[in-house]
A = this chain, B = another copy of it.
Amino acid sequence: MRTIDPTQIATKDLHQFILGAVGPRPIAFASTISADGVPNLAPYSFFNAFSSNPPILIFSSNRRVENNTTKDTLQNVKETGEVVIHAVSYAMARQMALCSIEYDASINEFEKAGFTPLPSERVRPFRVAESPVHMECVVDNILPLGEKGGAGNLIVCRMVLMHISEDVLTPSGRIDPHKIDLIGRLGRFYYARASGDAIFEVVQKVNELGVGFDALPYAARHSPVLTGNELARIAALTQLPSREEALADPAVVEAIQQCNNTAELHLLVRQALERGDVEQAAKLVVAGD
């Protein structure tokens, strides 16, 4: 591995390594307004939710790496203490990117980026009609993390009202990831679209104690075929079948007789997993040990 000491590398290079390693990052598309009434829109990807009770969202408006200046959003939240944070769907990507341009503070990014302003209910900044989720927030705190170029300024936001488009909800009223079609930020000029085949499911109940890798037979843990993701599905079972239970299954006995080696047997384990039959996969693994 390449080892990097943060004190021994230029900030701009460290910044890019962090951007490439910590991702995909959700985007806070932040609407603010200056004390004298100029609206501002800007995207921030040093952002996340951090608490649901109270509902806290935090984003950082960093001091610019190249010249240590600060951004209009930071000035506006210092002046007014309010912000609307929007979710960013794929359909908004390039209009949002226009709002990353450093227009003069007098410029209204709603007009530059072609977004439609909607009045908020609890705060002064406008909402972006095109976004599927609007979170009206008051700023509880602004915490500087340093004074040099590249230093973050944590903007700690308490959500006071949330608006969700009916278009992104399931019939039972939950947010459907395929419908909301979010994008996240990666390093450099890369983004990730959380949609279609990129979405996958891992159902893992936190209170179902999986047997773990350490309970898998030796041949499984050292499989020439099975991946960590495949073995983990078996390790997530709360109980493995006994050898007797496995060998009581005629299909398992037949599989053992047909296979010439562990690799062949583990290909059958893979097929069982692909069918979603984790119990059968477990029996094959146990019987083959």
The reply to whether A164 and B94 form a contact with Cβ atoms under 8 Å apart is no
Q: From A127, which residue of chain B is reached at the shortest CB distance?
A: B1
Asked if A187 is at the interface of the complex by the 8 Å CB criterion, the answer is yes
Picked from B1, B145, B163, the residue with its CB within 8 Å of the CB of A56 is B145
Provide the residues of chain B in CB contact with A174, threshold 8 Å.
Answer: 16, 20, 187-188
Provide the residues of chain B in CB contact with A196, threshold 8 Å.
Answer: 197-198
Q: From A20, which residue of chain B is reached at the shortest CB distance?
A: B175
The reply to whether B197 and A197 form a contact with Cβ atoms under 8 Å apart is yes
A98 and B48 in contact (CB under 8 A), knowing A23-B194, A190-B177, A197-B197? no
The reply to whether B46 and A113 form a contact with Cβ atoms under 8 Å apart is no
The reply to whether A52 and B14 form a contact with Cβ atoms under 8 Å apart is yes
Alpha-carbon gap, A177 to B24, bound state (A): 10
Alpha-carbon gap, A16 to B174, bound state (A): 8
Nearest-neighbour CB distance to chain B for A85, whole angstroms, equals 9
Picked from B98, B188, B204, the residue with its CB within 8 Å of the CB of A235 is B98
Nearest-neighbour CB distance to chain B for A270, whole angstroms, equals 14
A198 and B189 in contact (CB under 8 A), knowing A26-B23, A51-B146, A98-B210? no
Asked if A279 is at the interface of the complex by the 8 Å CB criterion, the answer is no
Which of A147-155, A239-247, A261-269 is near enough to bind chain B? A147-155
Provide the residues of chain B in CB contact with A50, threshold 8 Å.
Answer: 46, 58, 60, 62, 145, 152, 154
Alpha-carbon gap, A149 to B225, bound state (A): 43
A191 and B200 in contact (CB under 8 A), knowing A57-B22, A163-B2? yes
Chain A residues within 8 Å of chain B by Cβ, number: 123
Number of copies: 2
The reply to whether A146 and B54 form a contact with Cβ atoms under 8 Å apart is yes
Provide the residues of chain B in CB contact with A62, threshold 8 Å.
Answer: 50-52
* Chain A 32-51 per-residue mask, 1 if CB under 8 angstroms from chain B, else 0: 00000000000001111111
Nearest-neighbour CB distance to chain B for A226, whole angstroms, equals 11
- Apart from A22-B57, A98-B210, A101-B208, what are 4 other A-B pairs with CB-CB below 8 Å? A26-B48, A46-B48, A177-B186, A184-B192
Q: Which residues of A does B touch, CB under 8 Å?
A: 1-6, 11, 14-26, 45-58, 60, 62, 65, 87, 90-95, 97-98, 100-103, 111-114, 121, 130, 132-135, 145-146, 148-152, 154, 159-166, 169, 173-175, 177, 180, 182, 184, 186-210, 212-214, 216, 221, 227-233, 235-236
Q: What are 26 pairs between A and B in contact, CB < 8 Å?
A: A2-B165, A4-B162, A4-B163, A11-B52, A18-B52, A21-B135, A22-B47, A22-B49, A24-B192, A25-B48, A46-B51, A58-B154, A93-B202, A94-B229, A95-B232, A98-B210, A101-B208, A112-B212, A113-B212, A114-B216, A175-B187, A177-B190, A184-B184, A186-B194, A192-B199, A193-B199
